[in-house]
Chains A and B, each alone.
Chain A
Amino acid sequence: ELKVEQNPLFLSMQEGKNYTIYCNYSTTSDRLYWYRQDPGKSLESLFVLLSNGAVKQEGRLMASLDTKARLSTLHITAAVHDLSATYFCAVEGNAGNMLTFGGGTRLMVKP
């Protein structure tokens, strides 16, 4: 059974600071996704990582994947208040198949 764990579950940080969210998963996977969810809203796709060593960046967010360690990271650079949301990683077991989500990391960026 595929298990996905994120940490931390809650993160409060000051604007301008850097931090990393970690996502560990238990079995081999084809793809790993990062989603953002604002309160009361649905999930917004941020990144899809397809291979070992993949790195993608969008604005202040950068995601990476190490398939050997079964680890993905989401790095936040110089955080701003607008990044406050819950971030989920999700792992796809087989192409075209279901996603298994981590528990989410609730990020609060304080001015």
Chain B
Amino acid sequence: GAGVSQTPSNKVTEKGKYVELRCDPISGHTALYWYRQSLGQGPEFLIYFQGTGAADDSGLPNDRFFAVRPEGSVSTLKIQRTERGDSAVYLCASSNLDTQYFGPGTRLTVL
């Protein structure tokens, strides 16, 4: 079956704008994770969903960041009033309480 997919692959926006990043997990995977990876660093955890609910959002850096997973499948990461420091690759992963499988990521650039 298909792996984790993410859209868009690249997003360029201006400081202060709103962006949405989408993640389609592997079919049947109940757990979904968002991570952020800055250049030359390992991914950093943002938020974890089990089904429709956010089981752990302790990694979200501030209240400009929000994520939803209304039907327990697709998830959207939403960033308000983007700042240049938000520029990074946003990775989504899914699992069935086993190995986490990562998507290709969305490269966000805030000008």
Chain B, interface size category, equals: 20 to 34
| Tally of A-B Cβ pairs under 8 angstroms | 51
B85 at the interface (CB under 8 A from A): no
Measured CB to CB, the nearest residue on chain B to A4 is B42
Contact A102 B42 (CB under 8 A): yes
Contact B97 A42 (CB under 8 A): no
> Which B residues are CB-close (under 8 A) to A45?
99-102
B91 at the interface (CB under 8 A from A): yes
> Which B residues are CB-close (under 8 A) to A96?
31, 50, 95, 97
Contact A103 B56 (CB under 8 A): no
> Which B residues are CB-close (under 8 A) to A104?
40-42
A contact residues vs B (CB 8 Å cutoff): 4, 33, 35, 41-45, 48, 88, 90, 95-104
